[in-house]
Amino acid sequence: MRVQVKIPEVGESIKEGTLIEWHVADGASVASGDALFELETDKVTLTVQAEAAGRLAITVPAGSRVAVGDLVGTLDGEAAPVAAPAAVAEAAPRPAEVPPISAPAGFPQAAAKLADLDGLRPSVRRLVEEHALDPGALAATGPGGLVTKDDVLAHLARPAAANRAEGTAPAPVPTPAPAPAATPPAPPAEAGERPVTRTRMTTLRQRIAERLVLAQSTAAMLTTFNELDMSGVMALRDALKDDFEKKHGVKLGFMSFFVKAAVDALKRFPVVNARIEGDEIVQPSYYDVGVAVSTDAGLVVPILRDADRRSFADIEKEIAALARKARDRKLALADLSGGTFSITNGGIYGSLMSTPILNPPQSGILGMHGIKKRPVVVDDQIVIRPMMYVALSYDHRLVDGRDAVSFLKRIVECVERPERLLLDA
């Protein structure tokens, strides 16, 4: 029986994506549940598994743009397995007087190497061949003794002396192949001409670009600023962090304080937690806070559900778990859907001040920034304090300036007196 391999539905808002890699070679046999290919969409990257056993016939190559429902291959469950060489030799009649033929020099070594490579995934095989590595010399940490891409990268990252000590010769420097004689030489570049490269945007980056433009073209976006003294929260964090980590197994960071402060401010100024849909104002009774996470593929905003019901430890654990999933590209669509308010922290990259862009259809986003020691006036005295600029971008169609400024001022009050957050006062 032949089974079609199609692009599955992964969410109502996702219609297309990129087939970034096949995990199985064309013509190879797979079992039901085996990983077939990686699909990258504008929100998540997921592994699609085989629905049945059979021999795979690939019809759409890796790197192709695909839509939900597209046919990308077939699984032939009735294809007979290829007989092993030994079995063929035993079944076929052997002439009595055929003289033995010796294998060419180096054939056993080449055959063994090819056999090793056949057991590797395509992406791993490319790395092994590119660096002329011996698969047998690589430490395999994958299931069933399988060599993974991380194994190859770890091997390459080790000093050359360590690899030589294990008997692995350094990879030879590849020599570029000569250009075909029939190809005429390229004309010399004109004065002032400089080369450029063109790389196709990933699906996620395209989606980020679309949403940023959408936010600025559909909302009356405005940003208000304030500054806060981080002395209190830093002192409280230093006093509690060791016991907190021992008890909960996670570090106490600043983000949990800001999430708690945001929830407090959202309860006092619920319009910032609302959104516009058509000619209606939608006011949630819950507080799902998105926390921006930067990954190699781009910025994503996983959602911390019911933030008002979570303790400091719960918030820190959930943020850490979502950040790991984001960087490992294992976020599910449910991790990114919804959200009533967002927080982004440019301070971890050294930003002193910025105007964060709304995450549609939300009406507010809080921007945190770097902590810098600055001279400030306290009780008519000039003192040095660790200060942070904070920003609130908001949709002025829904949120008035008075509510936005008051909201941000409440954030400042909560963080400057963090004992309020601990006591919910």
pLDDT of res. 86: 43
Domain span at 162: 128-171
CA distances from 320 to 114, 236, 251, 314, 330 (A): 42, 21, 9, 10, 13
| Whether residue 291 sits in one domain with residue 149 | no
Higher pLDDT, 275 or 16: 275
Query: Is the pLDDT higher at 286 or at 335?
Result: 286
CA 15 to CA 326: how far, in whole Å?
A: 21
Distance CA 413, CA 401 (A): 18
- The residues, any chain, with a CB within 8 Å of residue 400's CB and separated by 6 or more, are 271
- At residue 160, the pLDDT reads 54
**For 229, phi and psi rounded to 5 degrees?**
-90, 120
Q: What is the mean pLDDT of residues 390-415?
A: 96
| Catalytic residue IDs | 396, 400
Does the pTM of the predicted model rise above 0.85? no
Q: Is 220 found in the same domain as 160? A: no
Please indicate, yes or no, whether residues 166 and 268 belong to a single structural domain of this protein: no
Question: 292: which 2 tokens?
Answer: 């921006």
133/122 Cα distance (integer angstroms): 15
- Is 165 within a domain? yes
pLDDT in tens, 91-149: 444 444 444 444 444 444 544 444 445 556 666 677 777 777 777 777 777 665 677 77
> Among residues 39, 56, 76, which one ends one of the domains?
76
Q: What is the CATH number of the domain that holds 399?
A: 3.30.559.10
* Residue 153 sits in the same domain as residue 221: no
Same domain, 158 and 209: no
Handedness of CA 87, 90, 95, 99 (dihedral sign): positive
Tell whether 182 is covered by a domain: no
Residue 193 domain flag: no
pLDDT at 398 over 80: yes
Would residue 36 count as lying in a domain? yes
pLDDT in tens, 174-222: 555 555 555 566 666 566 788 998 888 777 777 778 778 877 777 899 9
Please indicate, yes or no, whether residues 238 and 380 belong to a single structural domain of this protein. yes
Residue range 81-92, pLDDT digits in tens: 544 444 434 444
Number of domains in the chain: 3
pLDDT the model gives residue 90: 44
State residue 282's pLDDT score.
96
Ramachandran quadrant class, 236 (left: phi over 0; alpha: psi -120 to 50; beta: rest): alpha
The reported pLDDT for the residue numbered 381 is 95
**Which CATH number belongs to the domain containing residue 6 in this structure?**
2.40.50.100
208 and 167, same domain (yes or no): no
Angle at 332 between CA 331 and CA 335, to 5 degrees: 80
Same-domain check for residues 19 and 167: no
Q: Cβ distance 223 to 393 under 8 Å?
A: yes
- Res. 254: pLDDT tops 70: yes
Collect all residues with Cβ–Cβ distance below 8 Å to 26 and sequence separation of at least 6: 56, 57, 58
Residue 319 lies inside a defined structural domain of this protein: yes
Mean pLDDT of the chain: 81
Residue 339 has pLDDT above 80, yes or no: yes
